[in-house]
Amino acid sequence: MKQQLRNLVDRKVLLDRMEQGKNDRTTVSFYQYALIPNPTFFRDYLFIHWNQMGVLGRTYVANEGINAQISVPTHAFEAFQEHLYSISFLNGIRLNVAVDDGKSFFKLMVKVREKIVADGLNDSSFDVRDTGVHLDAEGFNTLTANEDTILIDMRNHYESEVGHFKGAITPDVDTFREEIDLVEEMLQGKEEKDIVMYCTGGIRCEKASAWLKHKGFPNVHQLEGGIIEYTRQVREKGLENRFIGKNFVFDERRAERISEHVIAECHQCGAPCDDHTNCLNVACNLLFIQCPACAKECEGTCSSKCHDIVLLPEEEQKKLRRGVKDSAKIFNKSRLRDALKRDHSNRGQSGAIGVRSSDKEGPSDIES
């Protein structure tokens, strides 16, 4: 009998299992750019072994390497690490352990993709392994303290909105592929400057730093291990923490608190807040920032239209969703915030805005 290599259990059941689970788990991420000749075979190999260990989370495998964000039963972590290190190109790889474990993943998903991070780049002469200089937390603090250094956040706008490094340039982009083009254009004429980039766990900077070197920028640096590893080193070594706010993460936790600063605001009323939530209208599912007061008033929805929909019987909601493409984890640019505020201040009036499918764009990859 052929072994089942994917999850078939209902999402709600899996979420309940995660919430009710009493065993400690360790959330960890890692990536590696390497030539994988047969990604499908490697994908199946990982799924079989990790499923037996009770591993949960998302992993992408491609010809260019692997990108994983997973949760491992703490008691099985050593066995997991031993298995991982038995794979030649992953032997000794750095594992970024989450600052705040919490409840992160509820199912195991290992997928084959064209690339482990979608970048939109098409250049056969580009070698992603020829990266910029890797900086530890101390080296990062030293170099970015120089006012001539250019510090760039290589994450999306909804990530940097709730937390970023002091003095960082935070492009207003939805995707990594947008940002690579924007950053290259922005840096024209500044080829000799010291450039430092950072992201969540390092994978986007790994590719971006190699791309800038490929395009003629000689002084490119990246924060090794990203914000996750930086935070660990800062706490372990008692260094100055130059990150303010939260570190957005792509799992059920949504963010890790790095400093007590709240630098964002509720998208509906403008009150200080940095808590992301998804609109409870399943057909919308917009990810946005909502304060407790607005969450209570709007009952977890983003607009009057969505609020009216969630009050309908479930069968009516299903009819409205019929034929609508699944829009899980949709992120919108800041241009929608004013619209959300207007709708919030005019609740109950006709013509309230909703989130149209044409307004939406979702990420094609997990980030790290």
Question: How many other C-beta atoms are found inside a 10 Å radius of the C-beta of residue 131?
Answer: 22
CATH code for residues 133-246? 3.40.250.10
**Residue 70 to residues 21, 61, 67, 73, 98, Cα–Cα distance (Å):** 16, 14, 10, 10, 10
Please state, in angstroms and rounded to a whole number, the distance separating the CA atoms of residues 253 and 250: 8
Class assignment of domain 11-112? alpha beta
Please state, in angstroms and rounded to a whole number, the distance separating the CA atoms of residues 134 and 272: 35
Please give the single-letter amino acid code of residue 231: T
Catalytic residue annotation: 199
Domain spans of the chain?
11-112, 133-246, 276-359
Beta bridge partners of 364: none
Q: Give me the chain's average pLDDT, please.
A: 84
Please state, in angstroms and rounded to a whole number, the distance separating the CA atoms of residues 310 and 108: 30
- For the stretch 182-199, pLDDT in tens is 999 999 999 999 999 999
Identical fold for domains 11-112 and 133-246, yes or no, is no
Angle at the Cα of 360 (from 357 to 363), degrees rounded to 5?
135
- For the stretch 275-308, pLDDT in tens is 999 899 888 888 899 999 999 999 999 888 899 9
Residues 200, 226 contacting (CB under 8 angstroms): yes
pLDDT of residue 367: 55
Please state, in angstroms and rounded to a whole number, the distance separating the CA atoms of residues 64 and 118: 11
Structure tokens that stand for 74 in this block: 């703490």
pLDDT of residue 188: 94
Residues 251, 56 contacting (CB under 8 angstroms): no
Taking 50 as the pLDDT cut, the residues of the chain under it are 1-2, 327-330, 348-365
